[in-house]
Amino acid sequence: MKMRISLIAKFTFSTSLILLVFMLLLDNINNKNFRKVMIGYAVSNAEEVANIINQSAYDAMMRNDKNSLYHIIGKIAESEDIAHIRLIDQKGQVVFSNLNAEIGSVIGKHADECIMCHNSESPDVPKLNSSRIITTKSGKEVLGFTKAIHNQPACIAASCHFHGKHDTVLGLLDISISLEMLRKKSREYRLDFFVLTCLLLLMIGTLVIVQTYFLVDIPVQRLVRQSTLVAAGDLESRVPVSSRDELGELSEAFNLMTNNLGNARKELEEWGASLELKVEERTREVKIIENQLFRSEKLASLGQLVAGIAHEINNPLTGILLFASIVSSDKRLDPALIADIDRIISETSRCADIVKRLLEFSRESVAHKESFSLNKKMEEVIALMYQHPNFQNINFIKVCAPYLPDVIADPAQIQQVLVNLFINASQAMPEGGDLKLSTRMSPDGGYVCIEIKDTGHGIPEENLNRIFDPFFTTKTDGTGLGLSISYGIVENNGGKLEVKSRVDEGTAFTLMLPVDDGTMPLTPRLPDNSNGK
C-alpha cells in the first residue's frame, strides 16, 4: 500500500526546501560581501597604521635615529591585531622587524610583498602601495599591506645627505594584520544568520502549515468526505462553500454535480417505478383478457352441448308437466296422492325452468342494440326490485355521475343482467345491508360503468375465478347460471363485467357498456340521487 503523505506535509516540505536553498544562497552572498567589507576595513586599518608610523617616525627618520624609529614601530606592532611590521630597504633586506629572527634577511623580488611591483622589468613605483591575503603555516589568515617609503624633499636636504635626490623609493613598510578577528566576526555573523534562518524557517513553516490547514486542508477534507458520501449513495448532503476562491468554485461545482446526480437518480427511480406499475397493469390486463377468452371459449363449447341436451329434455319435460297437471285435476285421484302429484309438478316446473335458462344461455340471442341512459335504466331496475321481498331490509345508495353519455346496447338484456346482479347482492345480505349503486365514465372514456356494491358475505378468493362458470353455485337452490348468462349477454353487447370481493366485507360487480359517441351530454343528466327507499 502506498504511504499517504498529506498535502500540508508536501507543501511545507517543498516551501521549506526552497526557503533553505534561498537562505543558503543568501548566506553565501552575504558572507562574501561581509568578507569584502571586512577586508576593505582591514586594508584601511593597515593604511591608517602605516600613516601613523610615517607621521610618528618622521622626526626619527630625519635625524636618522634608527633606534627611536624601531622603538616607535615596535610599540605600534604590539597592538593585538598586528601580526608583524617590518621595514625593507631598497635592496630587499629586512632592516627592522618586530620578529627579531627576520632582521637582516633578504627578500627576493618574487616574494609576495615584492611581486606586485617587480612582476615587470620596470616596476610602476608610484603605485607601490598594495595589499594581499596570506595564509600562514599555522592556517591563520593575515592581511599583508605594503607601503612604499618615498623620498621626501626634507630627506634630500637633510644634513646627513643620506638619500640622493634620484632615489624615489627609500624602502618598504610591510605591515601584516591578523584577520583572525575578522574570521571570528564572520563566524559569529554566520551563526547569527543561521539562527535567524532557522527561526525564519520555523515561522514560515508554521505559517504555511496554519494557512494550508485552513485554506486548503479543511476544504479538501470536506470534499473528500463528500465524495465518500456520494460514492456510498448519499446524494442529499452538500459541501459548505466558505470561500470565493478556486476551492470554493470546486465545492460549488461538486454540489451542482451531486444535485444533478440526485435528480438523475430520482428520474431513474420514478421511471423504474412507473415502468413497474405499467408492467403490473399490463400483466393484469393480459390476465383478464386471457380469462375472458378462456371463459368465452368454454361458454361457446358448453353452449352447444347444453343446447342439444336442453332441447332433448324440453319435450319429455313438457309432457310430464302436462300429464301431471291432468292427473292433478282428475276427480278420481286419491286425495292421499295429491301432495305427491303437486311435488312432481313443482319439481318438473323447476326442471323446465332450468332447461329454459339453459336454452337462454346457449341461444345465440341477437342483441337489439339502441342508445339509452344507464342512469335511467338503473332507476327502472331499482323501482322493479323495490317491490321484491328480498330487498325489504336493504338500503339503496345511489351515486350517479352527471354528464354521462348514453350507452349503446340491448336495454332488455341489460335489464336482465342488472336484475340478476341485484338479486345475487340481496341473497348475499339475507339480514339486510347497503346496496350502493354508482355510475361513472371509464378512465379511457370508452365506457359508461355502473358499480353494484353490496355489504354481503363476499366471495372467497378461490371462487372468484369460477363464479362466471355455468352451474357454479354455492347456493342450495341455485342453478349457477345467472352470472354465466349475464357474462355472455354483456360480452355480446360489447361490454365488460368485472368483480371485486372481500370475504365478510362485500362484493362489487362493475358493468361497463360502450358509449354511444353521438350522445355526449353538455348539461348534467342526473336522476334523483336520493335513497330509493
Q: Which parts of this chain interact with ligand ADP (CB under 6 A)?
A: 424-425, 428, 454, 456-457, 459, 467, 472-475, 478-484, 507
**Grid cell for residue 28:** 553565501
Nearer of residues 419 and 441 to ligand ADP, judged by Cβ = 419
Cβ neighbors of 458 (< 8 A, separation 6 or more) are 428, 501, 502, 503, 504, 505, 506, 507
Q: How far is the CB of 279 from ligand ADP (least distance, A)?
A: 31
Q: How far is the CB of 459 from ligand ADP (least distance, A)?
A: 5
Q: How far is the CB of 508 from ligand ADP (least distance, A)?
A: 9
- Per-residue burial over 60-75, b if 16 or more Cβ lie within 10 Å, else e, is bbbeeeeeebbebbee
In angstroms, what CA-CA distances link 191 with 13, 27, 145, 186, 316?
Answer: 23, 10, 29, 9, 139
Of 233, 288, 240, 294, nearest to 266 by C-alpha is 233
Nearer of residues 47 and 498 to ligand ADP, judged by Cβ = 498
Q: How far is the CB of 356 from ligand ADP (least distance, A)?
A: 14
Q: How far is the CB of 456 from ligand ADP (least distance, A)?
A: 5
Nearer of residues 114 and 467 to ligand ADP, judged by Cβ = 467
What residues pair up with 408 in beta bridges, in sequence order? 371
Q: How far apart are the C-alpha atoms of 321 and 349, rounded to whole Å?
A: 7
* C-beta of residue 413 within 8 angstroms of C-beta of residue 493: yes
Nearer of residues 372 and 487 to ligand ADP, judged by Cβ = 487
Nearer of residues 197 and 507 to ligand ADP, judged by Cβ = 507
Nearer of residues 12 and 479 to ligand ADP, judged by Cβ = 479
Instruction: Please give the helix or strand (H or E) that residue 372 lies within, else none.
Output: strand 370-372
Q: How far is the CB of 472 from ligand ADP (least distance, A)?
A: 6
Of 202, 193, 196, 197, nearest to 12 by C-alpha is 202
Q: Which residue is nearest to ligand ADP (CB)?
A: 482
**Grid cell for residue 430:** 339475507
Nearer of residues 129 and 473 to ligand ADP, judged by Cβ = 473
Q: How far is the CB of 404 from ligand ADP (least distance, A)?
A: 24
Nearer of residues 415 and 473 to ligand ADP, judged by Cβ = 473
**Grid cell for residue 502:** 372481500
**Grid cell for residue 466:** 369460477
Nearer of residues 194 and 471 to ligand ADP, judged by Cβ = 471
Nearer of residues 480 and 514 to ligand ADP, judged by Cβ = 480
Q: How far is the CB of 362 from ligand ADP (least distance, A)?
A: 15
Q: How far apart are the C-alpha atoms of 68 and 38, rounded to whole Å?
A: 33
Q: How far apart are the C-alpha atoms of 483 and 470, rounded to whole Å?
A: 8
Number of residues written out for the chain: 533
SS3 191: helix
What single-letter DSSP state applies at residue 330?
A: -
Provide the CB-side half-sphere exposure for 525 (13 A, CA): 17
DSSP character string of 408-436: EE-HHHHHHHHHHHHHHHHHH-TT-EEEE
**Grid cell for residue 274:** 412507473
Place of cell 360489447: 494
Nearer of residues 459 and 511 to ligand ADP, judged by Cβ = 459
Q: How far is the CB of 347 from ligand ADP (least distance, A)?
A: 17
Q: How far is the CB of 507 from ligand ADP (least distance, A)?
A: 4
Q: How far is the CB of 525 from ligand ADP (least distance, A)?
A: 28
